[in-house]
Amino acid sequence: MEQIQGFLPIILLFLVMYLFLIRPQMKKQKQEKNFSAEIKVGDKVVTKSGMHGKILNLNDDGTCIIESGAGKMKFERSALSMELSTKLNAPAKKE
């Protein structure tokens, strides 16, 4: 019984780490993957570096062509920010 009590804090530590660190990160990765799979031509997006634009073309190799004020540019789909793009496309709140 004393051996189980000795390992109990370590077991609880791993449980807390899983619940507060690992599980939320896995959920966020799944959402990011769904976001990059669901984007379509014509969507307004923001890259992780802050570039705003509209998707002109989606390629099978994981890239997309975005039209911005600077012209047409090629980006990896992983460079698109889910959080910033959803804020950009969210309907304006009436106060």
pLDDT at 92: 66
Asked if residue 85 lies in contact with residue 35, where contact means CB atoms within 8 angstroms, the answer is yes
Same domain, 47 and 84: yes
Count of structural domains, the chain: 2
Same domain, 15 and 45: no
Looking at the fold, whether 44 and 88 belong to one and the same domain comes out as yes
Examine the domain organization and report whether 30 and 64 are in the same domain. Answer: no
| pTM listed for this prediction | 0.72
Residue 81 pLDDT: 93
The token pair at 29 is 């990765």
* pLDDT per position as a tens digit, 40-88: 999 999 999 999 999 999 999 989 999 999 899 999 999 999 999 888 8
Identify the domain containing residue 6 by its residue range: 1-38
Helix axes 82-89, 23-38, angle to 10 degrees: 60
H or E segment to which residue 83 belongs: helix 82-89
